[in-house]
Structure 1
Amino acid sequence: MPDTPPAATAPPAGYAALDALPPTAAGAEVWAALGGAGLLRRAYRDGSAGAGTDPAGLADLLAAVDARFGLAATLSVSVQLATALPVLAAGRHPAARQALDSALAGRSTVALAATDETPGTDLTALRTEVRTDGGGLTLTGTKKWIANATTATHHLVLARHRPGRHFTHFTWVLVPADAPGATVRPADTALYAAAGTGHLTLDAVRLGTDHLLGRTGFGLPLFARHIATERLAGAQWGVALCRRALAATHRHLADRPHGDGTLWDLPPVRQRFAACLVRVQELNALTDGFAQAVAHRYDATAAATLKAAAGATVHHVLDTCAQLWGAEGFRTGGIQELRAQAALFAIGGGAEEVVLGTVADAADSVLDALARPGTLP
């Protein structure tokens, strides 16, 4: 089943390197084109993944990819930009530096292997283990529903080095895709095949200690920092996706005859469409307002707010657009397919119910900020 974006307005300028690729290009192909043209560095301050995210550059890059390619390809790019490469930048050994340089140049892709056989939102229950013995590392476990799994040259594996749920019991490990004992199988999904989605099995994989990323026991704090950026990226991407879907839907409604006019002339249709415009503008304003707090301070409450808002907004807009397209929406590669894929916004990177719990935990500070106009939580 093709994974193509519905017709859109002119994509953002400055990304001519992407124009040679077909709309059905897979995420790894898009990544290679972006890296080869030096465009991936636009997402970071000073062009360095270790220096932090540049919100404007990240938003522009995601919008450029979303305008040209399918949702799965954009997912492949988004996860690497917002989370995988910043985590990889925490590595100080040559193996990590070489992997990062290769990825930024587009010569390779990196998979963020955090989600385990246990529920993905309960990372403290993950079963993948890393043991240190004889001067080396041994990894055993399974990672499921990993974007870029089938195309990655390296997997960033979150593993426990100690039993229990304490947040200091987890560490990141850089695992070469060709390491003996590391096997990948594609996930049973046509919706995200272009993202290289798959499952990673680690059967007593042996590595040197130079494959540890960051300090031992700092795996979850490092992940929490960069999952915040991924949630910002998701909100930015959500705005671009909704705008594109609404633009295509508007053209469809204006061109579809009905009575003496078109579907666009019907007041109920216009009202439903306008409600979507309001929702997207709200998400856009919220994203702009929280961008610096997330990108520079890794504000978990702001990131959770963006994640919850993006999931709800994308669901509302794509559901409405799919209804307004009528039977035409069911064509291969049509709006109904995009609607199914876009359900990811309320699940990936933290289910909506989980991130709402984070917002609830900060209820006092959020309410205090609302009492002071112009103040962000």
Structure 2
Amino acid sequence: MPEPTADFTAALGTALAGVDTADARALWRALGVGGVVAALCPDGGNQPDPRRLATLLTELDARCPLGVTLSVCVQVATVLPLLSEAATAGPVAETVAGMVRGETVVALAVTDAGASGSDLLDATTRAKLGDDAVTLDGGKEWITNATTCHAALVLARHREPRHFTSFCWLLVPISTPGVTVEPTGRAFAGSGVGHLRFDGVALEPNALVGRPGRALAGFARQVGVERLASALWSRAICRRLLTGLGEWLRARPAADGTLWDHPAVREQYARCLVALCQLDALCAPLLDGPPGPPSTVTGMVLKVAAAETVETIAAEAVHLRGADAFRDGGEAALRTEAAMFGIAGGATGTMLAGLADHADDLLRSGP
């Protein structure tokens, strides 16, 4: 069973006190200095404890813009575990130590400029591996933390065959000559989303993270934790939305009482509650399990369920609140940004196609 989270929760509250929660770098620094990043992985492990991860994402969702929470989520669920697994010495180990202290922000550069987001085997970002140097060319698009990071963990092709063993990870300092960063605009405020370009970027051989050929296999395992984090975070968003919506409905005058008194409104609200309870039920076994990636099928189920639950509840909140939902920071804006749950970590359509391939297993035993 996971350790109690009381001490972790207290440390998190202390770390967040007084920090500018709209500043992703300042927030990450506070989490590091406060020992929160280190405490996410108990007993010196590489994987975040599920309950601590849920506590972190719930607290950040309550206090931070969605983009800032996204900035932290990518690092704790994916980047830090991938780097920690390969951290023996050199730049990789130094970067891990810097991340744990909150001094170093690292972007996860996977989505390729030369391929569709979910088709990593067609990625065109290439690494030429030599005995004395590594050369990187290509581009990555819509990368969280691109404009705020100190380094990027880049998925690159080092062999031509369209095969999962043709890829490696490179740790690329963002200040390296040949690296350019292009902001993408104001979407996901605080997330640092941008495009990265690599033009003849020369790196030392120790920029390699792990062994060449194992990058996609490692990422395929770790993305399960990212999908669990997505589900835990979407639960927090939905609970926050429904709490605020319920308070608003009870206070909104109607002809004979408040909107909450209308059976049709209560029915729609209750449907949203059911959707949230279903997502809670999917997450519950994983919260009581050990740190580490869920199975591939479970990860895909969580991914789809999180995306669809957020959309269902956000859409109903917009429908019921009407014009009020379109105020600054209202449900309409949140619904637009929360659409990322249907894209990041694998598009919903791709997940559903994969789940159909596992239909017999799911029908026999469930995720």
TM-score (norm 2): 0.93
Q: Does residue 362 of structure 2 align to residue 366 of structure 1?
A: yes
Cα deviation digits, residues 95-127 of structure 1 (max 9, x gap): 011111111111121100000011110000000
SS of residue paired to 2:52: helix
Report whether the alignment pairs 1:311 with 2:302: no
Question: How much has 1:47 moved relative to structure 2?
Answer: 4.9
**CA deviation string 1:198-240 (max 9, x = no partner):** 0000111111111100111001001111111000000000101
Structure 1 residue 366: Cα displacement = 1.3
Match of 1:266 among 256, 262, 265: 262
| Match of residue 91 from structure 2 | 95
How far residue 28 of structure 1 moved from its aligned partner, in angstroms, is 2.2
Aligned counterpart, 2:17: 19
Contact 1:227–1:349, Cα closer than 8 Å, also in 2? yes
- Equivalent residue number for residue 116 of structure 2: 119
Aligned partners of 1:145, 1:297: CA distance in 2, in Å?
A: 24
Match for residue 128 of structure 1? 125
Aligned residues of 2:83 and 2:209 also touching (Cα < 8 A): yes
User: CA shift at 1:158, angstroms?
Assistant: 0.1
| 1:37 maps to 2:37 | no
Query: Alignment length, in residue pairs?
Result: 356
Offset at residue 269 of structure 1 (A)? 0.9
Alpha-carbon separation, structure 2, partners of 1:270 and 1:206? 61
CA pair 75-127 structure 1, distance change in 2 beyond 3 A: same
Sort the Cα spacing of 1:270 and 1:47 in 2 relative to 1 into closer, same or farther, 3 A. farther
* DSSP-derived class of the 2:85 partner: coil
- Identify unmatched segments of 5+ residues in structure 2: 1-8
Give per-residue Cα distances to partners, 1:266-307, cap 9 Å, x unaligned: 111111111001100100110122456794354111101100
Residue 154 (str. 1) matches residue 131 (str. 2): no
What amino acid is aligned across from residue 43 of structure 1 in structure 2? L
Distance change in 2, residues 1:297/1:64 (3 Å): closer
Q: Does the 8 Å CA contact 2:112/2:120 hold for their aligned counterparts?
A: yes
Q: What TM-score comes out, normalization by structure 1 length?
A: 0.91
**Structure 1 runs (4+) greater than 3 angstroms displaced:** 290-298
Q: Cα–Cα, structure 1 residues 238 and 268, in superposed 2: closer, same or farther, change >3 Å?
A: same
**Judging changes above 3 Å, is the alpha-carbon distance between structure 1 residues 293 and 354 closer, same or farther for their aligned structure 2 residues?**
farther
Contact 2:286 2:294 in 1 (8 A): no
CA contact (8 A) 1:66 1:240 kept: yes
- How far does residue 368 in structure 1 lie from its aligned partner after superposition? 1.6
1:141 pairs with one of 138, 148, 158: 138
**Counterpart amino acid of 2:307?**
G
Query: Are the aligned partners of 2:165 and 2:215 in contact in 1 as well (CA < 8 Å)?
Result: yes
Tell me which amino acid in the other structure corresponds to 2:341.
Answer: F
Cα distance per residue 1:11-41 (max 9 Å; x no partner): x764132131345x13222212111211122
Mapped contact 2:249–2:260 kept (Cα < 8 A): yes
Secondary structure in 1 aligned to 2:190? helix
Secondary structure of the corresponding residue to residue 119 of structure 1 = coil
